[in-house]
Copies of this chain bind each other. A is one copy, B any other.
Amino acid sequence: MAEAVNIKRLAQELNISIATVSKALNDSYEISLKTKNRVWDLAKQLNYTPNPAASNLRSHKTKTIAVVIPCVANNFFSLAIKGIEEIARQYGYHVLIYQTHENIEAEVTFTNSLLSGRVDGILTSVSSSEYNSEYYANLVKKIPLVFFDRVYENLDAVRVTTDDYDIAYEATKHLIECGCTKIAHLYGLDNLPAGKARFAGYVDALKAHELDVNEQFVVKYHDDETKNLENIKALLAQQKPDALFSSIEEFIIPAYTACRALGLRIPFDVKMLSFSNLSTAPLLAPSLTTITQPAFEIGREAAKCLFKILNNKQLDDEQNIVLKSMLIKRESTGC
């Protein structure tokens, strides 16, 4: 479709050799300024752009990274991608996106397909459906990889995460200080460190305030949306909690739907607090107290780490970068 303008064509038009053109384009010290200028001018004039496949093949550098995540249509991940893309641009890299939809098979298929030299490195937030670190233990030996948010621990790879335990503790404490005594936990990511830490923060805050920690108050996330709705309804009907603390955004819809179905008014009958990266939440959703992760920053940090690795730069001491989340309170609605 595009009229072939390559290094050979440039060489012909200028009556010099292909090698000279190549070197001139790469600003080699071996070439005279005069020749370089002739080459650069013609290249610009003919709108020459090097063929990436050819350079990849030769140099084994793709100038491309892959982002493997559960789903882009999620406030956290789309913001993270935004951050990743910003850094990638600075380095002149291209960004490939792969969505696993929490399917571990898809995850393995994608990452394997990336091992053939399609990308120079991978940024990933792993699927929550399983925790199989064996696969990743091998993977990190084969390709530069940085985990963000949903990570595998105890591997030789950089992780960028947030203060999940601390913020969950703080959030639970906040609910207690608002007068809640029967706080339920909507438990997501229970296979992953993030989910476990959030749950632990919740549990420890209850204990510290001498409130009962009761299994009946915990609903684990289920793939099946109707199940989630049912489980929350059952929780509300049987345990009558005065607050729901959700560790993932995906619980918001079933939680609200269940409350509405049972005629419970949020936040008056039941307070609602959830991890959520919805930027408009503070204005649009006055009934929802939120924990916001610095998703954009996480993306940026993760990308920066990857590029440091790709450029063989020393990583600053730590392999584990932890950023701070924010608890956004709603004084106006008593929470």
Q: Is A50 an interface residue (CB 8 A)?
A: yes
- The reply on A51 being an interface residue by CB < 8 A is yes
Tallying the copies of this chain within the complex gives: 2
- Judge whether A96 is part of the interface by a CB distance below 8 angstroms: yes
Known contacts A62-B53, A112-B49, A94 near B94 by CB under 8 Å: no
User: Contact at B85–A78, with CB atoms within 8 Å?
Assistant: no
Query: At the interface, yes or no: A113 with Cβ under 8 Å from chain B?
Result: yes
Chain A residues 84 to 98 lying within 8 A of chain B, measured CB to CB, are 85-86, 94-98
Q: Tell me if A284 and B57 are in contact (CB < 8 A).
A: no
Whole-angstrom distance from the CB of A8 to the nearest CB of chain B? 14
- Return chain B residues, CB-CB under 8 Å to A49: 112-113, 115-116
The interface bits of chain A over 69-102 (1 if a CB of B lies within 8 angstroms of the residue's CB, else 0) are: 0011111011101100110000000111111000
Chain A residues 1-57 with CB under 8 Å of chain B are 1-2, 47, 49-54, 56-57
> Do residues B96 and A95 form an inter-chain contact, with CB atoms below 8 A?
yes
Q: Is A313 an interface residue when CB atoms closer than 8 A count as contact?
A: no
A47, A73, A95 — which one has the most chain B CB atoms within 10 A of its CB?
Answer: A73
User: Contact between A85 and B99 (Cβ–Cβ < 8 Å)?
Assistant: yes
Q: Is the CB of A81 within 8 A of B53?
A: no
Q: How far is the CA of A79 from the CA of B50 in the complex (A)?
A: 33
- Specify which of B73, B256, B278, B284 is in contact with A78 (CB 8 Å cutoff): B73
Question: A118 interface residue, CB < 8 Å from B?
Answer: yes
Shortest Cβ gap from A62 to chain B (Å): 7
> Given A72-B78, A97-B97, A117 and B283 touching (CB < 8 A)?
no
Which residues of chain B come closer than 8 Å to A64, judged between CB atoms?
Answer: 96
CA distance A77 to B72 in the complex (A): 9
For chain A, the count of residues having a C-beta within 8 Å of the partner chain is: 54
Docked-complex contact B283 and A252, CB < 8 angstroms: yes
Instruction: Contact check, B79 vs A73: say whether CB atoms are below 8 A apart.
Output: yes
Q: Are A53 and B280 in touch, CB under 8 angstroms?
A: no
Q: How distant is A132 from chain B, measured CB to nearest CB, in Å? A: 18
State A170–B256 Cα separation when bound (angstroms).
28
Contacts of A86 in B (CB 8 A): 99
CA–CA, A283 to B97, complex, Å?
30
Give the docked Cα–Cα distance between A136 and B287 (Å): 46
In-complex Cβ contact of A118 among B94, B112, B256 (8 A):
B94
- Alpha-carbon separation in the docked complex, A86 to B54 (Å): 29
Q: List 12 A-B contacts (CB under 8 A).
A: A49-B113, A54-B57, A57-B57, A71-B82, A72-B78, A72-B82, A81-B97, A94-B96, A96-B97, A253-B279, A257-B283, A260-B283
| Interface residue ranges, A against B (CB under 8 Å) | 1-2, 47, 49-54, 56-57, 62, 64, 71-75, 77-79, 81-82, 85-86, 94-99, 112-113, 115-118, 142-143, 252-253, 256-257, 260, 278-281, 283-285, 287-288, 296
